């Protein structure tokens, strides 16, 4: 294939390209159109974020390893952990629920994608979030909190 | 095919020799996973943590080349890579069958569709800046688009080319390459359909101002 050998053209194009992203393709999941939650959904995202963090750390997985395991975009996970206002994609919840063996509907509720009227569910989420506040190495208490909460989510 | 092509060394700002090739193999895909991914992960973490706008956080992360292995054997697809001293600097996948123009003047006319294009993360300035480094090579994206236009010419499509740009890449395709944007495509996650007419492609190849 005969390419353009004009160095002036090349340098000009290089300058124009400087600082640009040029990627095409591969963003299907990250752009997944997610049904936005209704305004009156009770936010228990903090519990959701803490739950993901502990579940990930319990498995000794870094964020990128976790992203690979659950087959979810790393940026999506970074946004979830960094921004409690961020609403994850339905597919993300589906993937995480499958990986963690948690009922999908429960995880959707926790992530703010489903309406939650059950006071007990909300209280359990708040209690879990409060108990698991530390972000240091997973302690026995955190481990226990996580296990109890997984049990709660699975049994109900 | 393995042809010489020049790219720009970002340190010297001078042209250096590289190779454009179309014998892309699964090893190239694996190289992107093994060599590129750690860079993207590290830089993305820093960008997100620093509160960078979504525009400069790379959004092509989920692409998994290994799943595309089967496409290597499909005639409707062509693959191109650019390497400098055997090190991969950019990869591209083109669809040469079954795509048509959408611009009013090009409607229904066959074109080459860019299904995937990515440059090595060490050539992306915002990522390297996040890591406190300088990008290594420039114009890799330009060279890949040039190869795509030339492929379109080879196919008899007169340079017609199209792609769905990721949000962060629109500036490159519209302002730098000079493609025309259509409305966001609801069939493709509302990504912007960008298209080269033959005249625009010619202008891009011959150095007319974008």
ipTM, 2 decimals? 0.84
> What residues contact A75, with CB distance under 8 A and at least 6 apart?
A30, B44, B48, B57, B58, B59, B61
| DSSP assignment of chain A | -PPP--HHHHHHHHHHHTT----BS--TTTT--PPPPPTTPPP-HHHHHHHHHHHHHHTT--HHHHHHHHT--HHHHHHHHH-TTPPPPHHHHHHHHHHHT--HHHHHHHTTSS----HHHHHHHHHHHHHT---SS--HHHHHHHHHHHHHHHH-
Q: What is the tens place of the pLDDT at every residue in A46-79?
A: 888 888 988 998 898 988 889 999 988 888 888 8
A94-113: b (≥16 Cβ within 10 Å) or e: ebbbebbebebebbbbbbbb
Q: Does A29 touch chain B (CB under 8 A)?
A: yes
Of A21, A32, A82, the CB nearest to B172: A21
The per-residue pLDDT for A116 is: 61
Return the higher-pLDDT residue of A122 and B101. B101
Task: Say how many CB pairs under 8 Å bridge A and B.
Answer: 164
| Six-digit token string for A133 | 């506040």
SS3 B159: coil
For chain B (length 210 residues), average pLDDT per consecutive 10? 95 95 81 77 75 57 50 75 94 90 94 92 86 92 97 96 88 93 84 94 79
Q: Does A118 touch chain B (CB under 8 A)?
A: no
Which CA distances in Å does B11 have to A136, B117, B118? 41, 24, 21
Q: Distance (Å) from the C-alpha of residue B205 to the closest C-alpha of chain A? A: 7
Residues of B in contact with A3 (CB under 8 A): 3-6, 20, 143, 146-147, 150
Of B44, B49, B150, the CB nearest to A1: B150
Domains annotated on chain B, with CATH: 2-206 (3.40.630.30)
The per-residue pLDDT for B207 is: 77
The per-residue pLDDT for B12 is: 94
Return the higher-pLDDT residue of B137 and A144. B137
Residues of B in contact with A61 (CB under 8 A): none
Q: How far out from the chain centre does Cα A32 lie?
A: 13
The nearest alpha carbon in chain B to A29 belongs to: B62
Mean pLDDT for A127-134 is: 71
Q: A85, A112 in Cβ contact below 8 A?
A: no
The per-residue pLDDT for A146 is: 82
Residues of B in contact with A11 (CB under 8 A): 8, 13, 15
- Provide the terminal-to-terminal Cα distance of chain B, rounded to the nearest Å: 29
Distance (Å, whole) CA A91 – CA A95: 6
How many CB atoms are closer than 10 A to CB B128?
Answer: 18
Q: What is the tens place of the pLDDT at every residue in A85-121?
A: 787 877 788 889 889 998 877 887 788 776 666 677 7
Please choose, from the candidates A134, A23, A75, the residue with its C-alpha nearest in 3D space to the C-alpha of residue B91.
A23
The per-residue pLDDT for B174 is: 94
Could A74 and B61 be called an inter-chain contact, meaning their C-beta atoms sit closer than 8 Å? yes
Distance (Å, whole) CA B79 – CA B21: 8
Residues of B in contact with A28 (CB under 8 A): 62, 189
Return the higher-pLDDT residue of A49 and A127. A49
Mean pLDDT for A39-48 is: 60
The nearest alpha carbon in chain A to B139 belongs to: A14
pLDDT at A42 over 50: no
* Residue B186: DSSP 8-state: G
What's the predicted TM-score (pTM) here? 0.64
């Amino acid at each position: 294939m005969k390419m353009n050998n004009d160095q002036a053209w090349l340098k000009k194009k290089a300058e124009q390209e400087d600082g640009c992203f040029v990627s095409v393709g591969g963003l299907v999941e990250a752009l997944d159109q997610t049904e936005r939650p209704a305004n009156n959904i009770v936010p228990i995202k903090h519990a959701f974020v803490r739950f993901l963090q502990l579940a990930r750390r319990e498995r000794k997985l870094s964020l990128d390893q976790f992203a690979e395991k659950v087959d979810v975009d790393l940026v999506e996970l970074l946004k979830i952990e960094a921004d409690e206002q961020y609403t994850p994609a339905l597919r993300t919840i589906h993937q995480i629920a499958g990986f963690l063996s948690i009922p999908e509907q429960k995880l959707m509720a926790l992530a703010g994608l489903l309406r939650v009227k059950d006071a007990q569910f909300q209280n359990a989420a708040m209690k879990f979030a409060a108990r698991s506040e530390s972000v240091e190495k997973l302690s026995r208490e955190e481990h226990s909190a996580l296990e109890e909460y997984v049990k709660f989510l699975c049994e109900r | 095919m393995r042809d010489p092509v020049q790219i720009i060394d970002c340190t010297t700002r001078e042209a250096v020799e590289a190779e454009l090739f179309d014998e892309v193999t699964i090893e190239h895909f694996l190289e992107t996973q093994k060599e590129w991914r750690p860079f993207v992960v590290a830089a993305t973490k820093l960008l997100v943590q620093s509160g960078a706008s979504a525009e400069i956080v790379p959004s092509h992360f989920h692409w998994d080349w290994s799943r595309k292995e089967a496409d290597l054997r499909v005639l409707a697809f062509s693959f191109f890579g650019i390497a400098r001293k055997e090190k991969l600097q950019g990869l591209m996948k083109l669809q040469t069958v079954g795509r048509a123009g959408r611009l009013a003047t090009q409607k229904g006319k066959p074109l080459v569709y860019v299904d995937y294009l990515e440059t090595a993360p060490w050539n992306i300035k915002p990522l390297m800046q996040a890591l406190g480094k300088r990008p290594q090579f420039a114009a890799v994206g330009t060279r890949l688009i040039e190869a795509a236009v030339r492929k379109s010419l080879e196919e008899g499509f007169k340079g017609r080319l199209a792609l769905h740009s990721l949000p962060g890449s629109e500036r490159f395709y519209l302002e730098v390459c000079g493609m025309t944007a259509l409305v966001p495509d609801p069939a493709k996650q509302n990504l912007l359909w960008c298209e080269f007419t033959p005249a625009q492609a010619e202008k891009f190849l011959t150095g007319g101002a974008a």
